[in-house]
A = this chain, B = another copy of it.
Amino acid sequence: MKIGDLARRTGLSAHTIRYYERIGLLPRAPRDASRQRGYDASILTWIAFLGRLRTTGMPIRDMLRYTHLRERGPGTLDERRILLEAHRAKVRAHLAELQDCLAVLDTKIAGYAGPDTVEMDNDATTDQRTRAVREGLARPLRD
């Protein structure tokens, strides 16, 4: 598989793939007679995994740490697990935070849609009234 094919199959650009190789996220691909990279299908799973790490907000420097541990072989399993566990904790925390923000957003949007409107400056996150609204103690306001 050439770099263009890989790009199409991963959604990364060829530029990005070369960049990942340059910084060490991807192993140096073997070149053919005209110095072009040739990829094995196995790279797809690794790229997909990197994608998960990226999606969950892992900085490249941490992906590199993981990658380098992996290259050092089975002696680094514990370290890798620890690294992933730490990352998982961050992802969970972020998830919780997002869910919280989403609840606020829901409340606010519900306020906009409310049948009765009092024009007030209430662009708050969780002020008294918003909390009351969420608990069904008051009707939403628009702002």
Contacts and interface: CB of A to CB of B under 8 A. Distances in A.
A46 interface: yes
A32 interface: no
Contacts of A74: 119, 141-143
Interface residues of A, number: 53
Interface stretch (A1-9, A14-22, A78-86): A78-86
A48 B142 CA distance: 17
Interface in A66-98: 70, 73-74, 77, 80-81, 84-85, 87-88, 91-92, 94-95, 97-98
B123 A45 contact: yes
Contacts of A113: 81
Contact of A55 (B52, B97, B119): B97
B43 A102 contact: no
B102 A56 contact: yes
B46 A80 contact: no
Interface in A89-140: 91-92, 94-95, 97-99, 101-102, 104-106, 108-109, 112-113, 117, 119, 121-127, 130-131
